[in-house]
Structure 1
Amino acid sequence: MIFADDIVLVAERKLDLNLRLEEWRAALERKGLRISLSKTEYLHCDFSGVNDDEKIQITIEDQVVPQVTKFKYLGSFIQSDGEIDSDVAHHVQVGWSKWRVDTGILCDRRFPTSLKDCWAIKKSHACKLEVAEKKMLRWMCGHTRLDRIRNDVFRERLGVAKISGKIREGRLRWFRHVKRGEMTAPVRSIEIINIERRRVRGGPKMTWAERIKHDLLDLHLSEDMVEDRNSWRRKINAKDFKEKCRALTRIIIGGYSLPYSK
């Protein structure tokens, strides 16, 4: 029996979702395909706090579809409460899994460290990522927390920047992509949507736009700078230690009297 996968149906009401499910079931069966009941789940996101159709069940051919609190789609987790804790934890776990594959080289002291390499969010999420990153860097250098060596020492030895800086760099690169788009583009129309609702308990205190404003202030940037792609990427780049050392060397060799700054 052939199954179709990676299909997501979205509706505002459960009744509408049942109708769409029935349409899809009939259309797939006409093509010789069937929906796998054992792999079908539904996620209910009640962001408005108004649940008028709570008693309605999602069904396929009179069989009830199980409800879940989180759903994985194309490698990312979506939670019913609007949080991203599961997605952050999943990416940390995937990072550890990929890192363990190369531990034979990364943790081998016979290999010089120069040959080793590694790769709107809440502060708690950033802390989780940084804790996992710091532990990886220490193990790559053959040390633990008991050795009482500062994290900056490992960053300088391996030549890597903070992961929070890289996250900010990616966020600002997407910001430029959004601002460069036409006003008729879907991403620009979503940008101007104003959702009037109270912040959910435990949710991020800042919106994506507010987070971007803080990033621009931290880096002394303005929105009109997005027109120059090369200049923008140079200013938002979270430089690794090796890049900073090369820049410092150029300043010293060039004979400049200006002090080097971050």
Structure 2
Amino acid sequence: MDIFEGDTRNVFSVIIDVLTRGIQDSVPWCMLFAYDIVIIKETRVAVNVILERWRYILESNGLRISRSKTEYLWCNFSNLPNGEGVDVLMADQVLPPKDNFRNKLRVAPIAEKVREGQLCWFGHIRRRRIATPVRRVEDLVVSGSRTRGRPRRTWADLLTLDLRALNLSADMTSDRRSWRRRIRVAD
């Protein structure tokens, strides 16, 4: 079989995978997506080291990395000074930082997708008959003493906040199509 038949992105991914197998970390520290590579490291210095390895391997095998399109996202989850003042470089060229990549991917924020899923399930439950077990649970009151501190947020509390945020009411769930249209988050 000719490996160049079909989608060239798949062929390119296989070539990159084979060439860089020796320097790839496990997921999620290194991920390959068609023409994109995601590299995750704890410091900018470590990013520079692995980025230079990738550049060397790819360019020594005749492939080119677009320095004008290569960018990085800095997330300091540990709140440590991991390379403050250190530039991310590719062959002596400073790479531009990005604030986020989600807009570029055209993906809705995770919190909004979770809210959509919860409201979808809420609508599904509300359209069921009152006698079904899932509807009888709505009116249960848990007895006993609660834990110390602030009361935990319940699903009902979250639903109230979500319905208020989208200017919806529980009565609107009866029309499935209309309900889905109202809670739908644009991708």
TM-score by length of 2: 0.50
Quick one: percent identity of the two aligned structures?
Answer: 40
Structure 1 segment 124-163 matched on structure 2, within 5 A: 143-145=72-74, 148-151=97-100, 154-163=101-110
SS at match of 1:104: strand
The yes-or-no answer on 1:233 pairing with 2:162 is no
- Which position in structure 2 is the counterpart of 1:195? 142
Write out per-residue CA displacement over residues 134-192 of structure 1, whole angstroms, 9 at most, x where no aligned residue: xxxxxxx85231754222xx222100011011110110011011111111101011111
Structure 1 segment 32-111 matched on structure 2, within 5 A: 100=28, 103-105=31-33, 108=36
Distance 1:216 1:234 in 2: 14
Residue of structure 1 aligned with 2:171, choices 224, 231, 235: 224
Write out per-residue CA displacement over residues 179-235 of structure 1, whole angstroms, 9 at most, x where no aligned residue: 111111010111111113444357873211111011000000011110111111111
SS at match of 1:217: helix
SS at match of 2:33: helix
Unmatched runs of 5 consecutive residues or more in structure 1:
1-96, 110-140, 241-262
Residue of structure 2 aligned with 1:172, choices 119, 128, 136: 119
- 1:100 Cα deviation (Å)? 4.3
CA contact (8 A) 2:163 2:169 kept: yes
Q: 1:198 to 1:163 in 2, by over 3 A?
A: farther
Q: 1:104 to 1:212 in 2, by over 3 A?
A: same
CA contact (8 A) 2:71 2:97 kept: no
Q: 1:189 to 1:178 in 2, by over 3 A?
A: same
Distance 2:183 2:139 in 1: 24
Unmatched runs of 5 consecutive residues or more in structure 2:
1-25, 38-69, 75-87, 89-95
Q: 1:182 to 1:101 in 2, by over 3 A?
A: farther
Q: 1:193 to 1:237 in 2, by over 3 A?
A: same
Flag the structure with higher helix content.
1
Write out per-residue CA displacement over residues 89-126 of structure 1, whole angstroms, 9 at most, x where no aligned residue: xxxxxxxx8x64992226726xxxxxxxxxxxxxxxxx
CA contact (8 A) 2:71 2:98 kept: no
Write out per-residue CA displacement over residues 35-77 of structure 1, whole angstroms, 9 at most, x where no aligned residue: xxxxxxxxxxxxxxxxxxxxxxxxxxxxxxxxxxxxxxxxxxx
Q: 1:221 to 1:190 in 2, by over 3 A?
A: same
Q: Which amino acid aligns with 1:178?
A: I
Higher mean Cα deviation, 195-204 or 214-223? 195-204
**Over aligned residues, Cα RMSD in angstroms?**
2.9
- Which position in structure 1 is the counterpart of 2:161? 214
Number of residue-to-residue matches in the alignment: 110
Q: Which amino acid aligns with 2:130?
A: M
Q: 1:206 to 1:106 in 2, by over 3 A?
A: farther
CA contact (8 A) 2:126 2:173 kept: yes
RCO higher in 1 or 2 (8 Å CA, sep ≥ 6)? 2
Q: 1:201 to 1:163 in 2, by over 3 A?
A: farther
Q: 1:157 to 1:202 in 2, by over 3 A?
A: farther
